[in-house]
Structures are given as C-alpha cells and as structure tokens.
Amino acid sequence: MGYPHPSHPKEQPVLSKHFGDAGARTFDGWVKRGGYAGLKKALGMTRDQVIDEIKASGLRGRGGAGFPTGMKWSFMPKEVTKPHYLVCNADESEPGTFKDREIIRWTPHQLIEGCAIGAHAIGAERIYVYIRGEFTQEHKILVAAVEEAYKGGALGPSAFGSGRRIDLVVHRGAGAYICGEETAMMNSIEGRRGNPRIKPPFPAVAGLWASPTTINNVETLSAAGHIITHGAEWYKAFCVGNPKSTGTKLFSVCGHVQKPGNYEVVMGTPMRDLIFDMCGGMRPGRTLKAVIPGGSSVPIMTAAEIEGCAMDYEGIVAKGSMLGSGGMIVMDDSTDIVYQVMRLARFYAHESCAQCTQCREGTAWTTKILERILAGQGRREDLDLLLDLADNMTGKTICVLSDSCAAPVVSAIRKFPAEFDAYISRQKQPVMVTV
C-alpha cells in the first residue's frame, strides 16, 4: 500500500494494493489493474459455484462478527420468489476503525465488483450500499464510480452481457453508529429510526421489506473479486497456521504509534510485528500500556497480553479479547485509562438507540459513575457497581451495543485497577468537574 506509508515487507497487500494510487479510482484504471475479471468470471458461474468458492476460501466477515461469508450467502433461498437484496455495510463507525473508508476512496470499483459478485451469488438484483453520512467525499467518489460502472457495463440490466440484472443504490446514513448493526441498517434503509430488530426472523428469511437479504461489510465484499479471480486455494494460503482464519485482514492502527494507518497482513500475523515493526513502535520515550484490538467494543489488552498474540479470530480470543473490526487503538503510558474508558462509555451512551432498558439507562449511568470518579468523587463501591451494571447490561438486549459498552469497562477495571485506585484514593488530581 502506498498510502499513507509505503507497504511494509511484512504486509500482504491484496485489497490495499492500490491505496494512494489515484489512477485506480476510475473504471478504466481498475480494469487496467486486473479489475472486473472476477466479476466476469463469476457471471459465468452458477450461484452455487460462486458460493462454494467463497466457502472454500475461508473468508469470514470483516465487519466484526467473523461469520463465514460463504455460509451466510448460502442461507439465501435457492428459489427467488421475492426480490433478494444485498446490503453493503459502509457505515464504519466503530472507534478505531478506518479501513472501509480507504477502500472506497482509493478503489471504489474493487467494492462495486465485490458487491456485484455477492449479488449474483445470492440471487439479488439490487444492492444497497449504506455509507455513513460523515463520509462526504467517499460518497461523491462512490456515486461517480457507480455511474462509471453502469456506463462500463458492470452494472445494469445485463451485467457484462450476462443477462443478469445488477443495480446498485448508494444510500447515505445521517449520523448513527447503531446503523452499522445489520438489522438497524435495514430499518434505516427502509426510512425508519435505526432500531435493531429482534431475530428471528433472520435477514436471509425476512430482511429488507420482509424479503431475503444479506448484509456484508465493505472489506468482506472487496475480497470476493480476488477470490474468484485467483481461486479459493490462493486465498486460503494466506494463513499462519490456523485454518479457521484465512486470507488477509486490514488492521486500522491508530493512537500512539509512530506510523498510524491501515496495514494489510496475513491472518495470524503476530500483533507485536504489527505494532513494533510495521507501525514503527512507540513515540520516543514512551512505553506501550494497552491495546484495544478490535474497535472499542472488545476487552482491553495489556502490553503483556499482546506478546505472542496471533492476529486472527481465534488467536485474539485466546488472549482474552476479540478481533472484531480490526480497529487497533494503541495506548502508551501517557494515557489516562479511566478517562478513555469514560469517553468510550460516553460514546455508547450517545449512540444507544433507546429501545432496551439496560442499554438506554445503563450506558448513561456508567458514564456518570466514571465522570464522578474522574471528578475526584469516586468511591470503592463504584467499581463493584460498574461491574454489576456491566453484568446487567450483557447478554440481555436486542443488540450488543450494551455489551460493547460493558466490555472495555470491565476489562479496564480488572486489568488496570491501579488507575482507578489513583482517582478513588484521591492520589490523582481530578480531571473533570461534574455538573
């Protein structure tokens, strides 16, 4: 990848190969770089053949859940009796994550190609790309690229002359993290409040307008073209020994590293290599304190825990956290863990849709307790209270926003107790004033 840093030798640029290359943005530029070969090949395959290839590749959802993509596509009905829909999740709002934005701004056709392949595989004639409202420039780029794709024949009533109709509509969000949740996203596309839905029914049975729907992340779909072009075996080979996690993953590294940015590595690459080699390690005079590896909704890892951590789905779970979206927030010793956990809690409280009691009230209460601690009014019991609230907020709601608020709070209290003690014992000066 050439943007914002030249590719590191330990990277494996597949999706990010053309980041920084403005020429890759156009239809012709993409074709020149080998693009749309995957779509053309897929259109000559049956739905099942495409699904089998994706299954064999081991591709798993790159938005955060890690669900096997081929299996997800196979849940769609074989017979098309109602319209099928493909939704591309470009809502990217998980703190720490900024990979989908790069894919769209540098290689929109990579995404369009992947969407079209997905649409073909699931029997959909229409794709909705849900792009968050704040991605103003990416929206313009994508809309222009879609127009080009229609002109170039990749989209339209007969994609590349195959007789398959593939249409793509870009739908702009308007400021709601929760719309990144797949059922909330469908409600948002339908012109409703972005409230997550209860499951069942599952989207593949009754999704958009009660019709079979599949929702996939930008990064997941962008891989499809490469897999079809080069084959499942090629993709599976990107693997450091855990056959359940194959392919490459874009890790968005941000925070206290010398070279923040997106890094595409083979699944299973050691976390240490990413932070200390590729990202250039800590700023001068600073030591690593904590890492939140998967976007903010996963447990915090200590500096010790990243040692020997392989960056794949199972590897990070083995170290007590989750791969999630791969948005890696790196914090050095200058970080006030309590303050940042408060700021994360405040994020979740702001974004809660308000349906479920535990989330609506619990995220706000959690924030208030942390603010009080930071204001020098904390008590020992507040930590037990936070842990109990987190327990009451976990596993009990329609979606996992509530759980996501609890995860960093619980892990911070358990792994960085001294930080909290410093405020509670009044050793540390308050950094906030409560109103």
CB 434 within 8 A of CB 375: yes
Q: Which tokens go with 24? A: 């890759």
**136 interacts with other proteins by CB under 8 A:** yes
Q: How far is the CB of 28 from other proteins (least distance, A)?
A: 26
> Taking CB under 8 A as the rule, does residue 169 contact other proteins?
yes
Minimal distance, residue 146 CB to other proteins, in Å: 12
Q: Can you tell me the distance from the alpha carbon of 73 to that of 47, in angstroms, rounded to the nearest whole number?
A: 10
- b/e 213-252 (16+ beta carbons within 10 angstroms → b): bbbbbbbbbbbbbbbbbbebeebbebbbebeebbbbbbbb
**Smallest separation (angstroms) from other proteins to the CB of 357:** 5
User: Of 182-221, which residues contact other proteins (CB under 8 A)?
Assistant: 188-194, 198, 209
DSSP state of 276: I
Which residue type does 347 have?
F
Interface residue with other proteins among 100, 181, 219, 305 (CB under 8 A) is 100
CB of 396 to other proteins, least distance (A): 6
Site residues for other proteins, window 262-281 (CB under 8 A)? 262
Distance CA 123, CA 125 (A): 7
Site size for other proteins (CB under 8 A): 78
Helices assigned H by DSSP within 33-98:
37-43, 47-57, 69-74
Residue 408 CB, nearest approach to other proteins (Å): 9
What is the footprint of other proteins within residues 341-370 (CB under 8 A)?
343-344, 347, 349-358, 360-365, 368
The site map against other proteins for 279-308 (x = CB under 8 A) is -----------------x------------
| Binding residue for other proteins, selected from 94, 219, 305, 419, defined by CB under 8 A | 94
Stretches 36-44, 144-152, 170-178, 223-231: which one binds other proteins (CB under 8 A)?
A: 170-178
Q: How far apart are CA 147 and CA 27, in angstroms?
A: 10
Q: Which tokens belong to 188?
A: 């948002």
Binding mask 364-403 for other proteins (x = CB under 8 A): xx--x---x----x-------x------x--xxxx-----
Output phi, psi for 370, to 5 deg: -65, -40
Cβ atoms 59, 68 nearer than 8 A: yes
As measured in angstroms, the least distance from the Cβ of 205 to other proteins is 15
